């Protein structure tokens, strides 16, 4: 019922196949059976991959928030300068 048995290190190609099957809705057990792997091997590799992607997204979000904060600070400084100019009677 299962596919080829993999021994030793799981290759990047096998991990890509795991991800592809998982995206199609296949269970960890069915992926393991199809690829001839232990279900925990499949689970561990897919969970490891899932943890990497959100971290990249988090880094992008942090970078965007930093840029937004810099823009807000610029606007606040411009507003402060304008108020000071008005207070001093300058344009």
Please provide the DSSP assignment of 19-68 as one string: HHHHHTT--HHHHHHHHT--HHHHHHHHHHHHHHHHHHHHHHHHHHHHHH
Q: What is the pLDDT of residues 55-88, one digit of tens each?
A: 566 777 888 888 988 899 999 998 899 999 988 9
pTM: 0.49
pLDDT-wise least confident of 21-25, 33-37, 87-91: 87-91
11 vs 1 pLDDT, higher one: 11
In angstroms, the first-to-last Cα distance of the chain is 82
Q: Spell out the long-range contacts of 20-27 with Cβ–Cβ below 8 A and sequence spacing 24 or more.
A: 22/46
User: What is the structure's pLDDT at 32?
Assistant: 93
pLDDT at residue 7 in the model: 61
Average confidence (pLDDT) over 10-27:
92
């Amino acid at each position: 019922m299962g596919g080829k048995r993999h021994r030793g290190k799981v290759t990047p190609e096998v991990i890509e196949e795991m991800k592809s099957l998982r995206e199609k809705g296949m269970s960890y057990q069915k992926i393991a059976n199809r690829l001839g792997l232990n279900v925990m091997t499949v689970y561990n590799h897919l969970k490891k991959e899932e943890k990497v992607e959100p971290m990249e997204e988090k880094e992008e979000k942090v970078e965007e928030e930093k840029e937004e904060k810099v823009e807000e600070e610029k606007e606040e400084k411009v507003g402060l300068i304008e108020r000071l100019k008005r207070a001093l009677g300058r344009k």
